[in-house]
Amino acid sequence: MKRLKELGEENRKLKQMYSEAWKLTQKWMEDYNTRHPHSSIGDMPPREYRNRFGEEFFPETNNINDNFMNLAMS
């Protein structure tokens, strides 16, 4: 019974660590994809590039893989 409680506590800690890692990753991705300068688009942050040149050059998408492709192809 004691081991079962220990496993439950370990599981809770792992879930908490995963949650924190996910939040930090999402925060980093938001910064990188909006505020970080990219050499492929004239050392401008993607947000500035989109505001300057419009949606047709940087289309919105909800698919995370498409977002990475948009940056790579810009």
Chain-centre distance for alpha carbon 2: 39
For tokens 């401008």, what's the residue? 44
How long is the chain?
74
Range of the domain at 23: 2-73
- Kindly list the averaged pLDDT for each block of 10 residues, start to end, along the chain of length 74: 83 94 94 88 86 68 54 48
CB contact at 8 A, 53 and 20: no
Q: Which pLDDT belongs to residue 74?
A: 45
Number of structural domains in the chain: 1
| Type of residue found at 25 | T
- Answer yes or no: pTM beyond 0.85: no
